Structure 1
Amino acid sequence: MRETCVPTGVALKDTGFGYTLSLVNGKYKMVILYWLSENKVMRHNELKRSIGTISYKTLSVMLKELEEHDLILRKEYPQIPPKVEYSLSERGKSIMPLLDMMCDWGEANMVSAPGLMQR
């Protein structure tokens, strides 16, 4: 059996769990990663339309942070008007099994959770 992910006396931020949370923390980061995994390559406006509830500025900030953490790649084409495409990096692809497990867990548990609509 595995030891606890956050041992007693160790700050959450100093654990693998805390590190992972710091990378995907935020309302939209996991959603952005999901859309990129489904579509392989997307432009800023495509992501904005797919998410729907995100502002232009918030999406820009989230994309910049995901790029800084090497979870996504940003490819800029030297043309007018500028064209920028986003895709998952190899590191970003490596986190997808975690998001898939979250999806599976949600599918298995959402019908039994009180207050949630059943499908």
Structure 2
Amino acid sequence: MSKECEKTKAVHKKKCAVIHALEIIGGKWRLPIIWELSAKESMRYNELKRCLDGITNIMLTRALQGLEENGLVRRVELCQIPPHVEYSLTESCKQLLPALEIINEWGKRKMLDTSC
């Protein structure tokens, strides 16, 4: 196999990994949900919803289900009166937090650059 072909395959694998990651964490609400959950050990559904301005119940539920299915969010049903559910980040998801910190800092700088 030629070196050029090997380089193309290496680039393709990197793109595939990025695409795969974005399929898991992409979408309008998944990263904001992860960001909010990172601030606390765990959060109840309505507490999380109050932190995410503009999200609907359906979108929050779907995003949480997707994150849970991909092993990024843990859902725990607590047997209390009244019963409630708490959400928290898994160890796998916590590995994303340094990248989100960088994105947060970049976003802050961009907001300063565009403000008059």
The aligned counterpart of 2:102 is: 101
Unaligned runs of 5+ in 2: 1-6
- The normalised TM-score by structure 2 is 0.82
State, as a whole percentage, how many aligned pairs show the same letter: 36
Structure 1: which 4+ aligned runs deviate by more than 6 Å?
none
Question: What are the Cα deviations for residues 13-56 of structure 1, in whole angstroms up to 9, with x where unaligned?
Answer: x6111111111111110000000001221011001101021011
CA distance in 1: counterparts of 2:112 and 2:72, whole angstroms: 32
1:67-106 aligned at under 5 Å gives the runs: 67-106=68-107
- State the match for 1:26 in structure 2: 27
Hey, what's the Cα distance between the residues in 2 that align with 1:56 and 1:34? 18
- Aligned-partner residue type, residue 46 of structure 2: N
Is residue 62 from structure 1 mapped to residue 63 from structure 2 by the alignment?
yes
Query: 1:117 offset after TM fit, Å?
Result: 1.8
Q: CA deviation at 1:110?
A: 3.3
Post-superposition offset of 1:69:
0.5
Give the number of the structure whose residues are more often helix, by fraction: 2
Residue type at the aligned position of 2:86: E
Q: Which one has a bigger Cα radius of gyration?
A: 2
Ranked by relative contact order (alpha carbons within 8 Å, sequence separation 6 or more), the top structure is 2
- The CA distance in 1 between the partners of 2:109 and 2:53, in whole Å, is 26
Matched, 1:49 2:50: yes
Q: How many residues align?
A: 109
The alignment's TM-score, normalised by the length of structure 1, stands at 0.80
Alpha-carbon shift at residue 81 of structure 1 (Å): 3.4
How far the C-alpha of 1:80 sits from its partner, in A, is 4.5
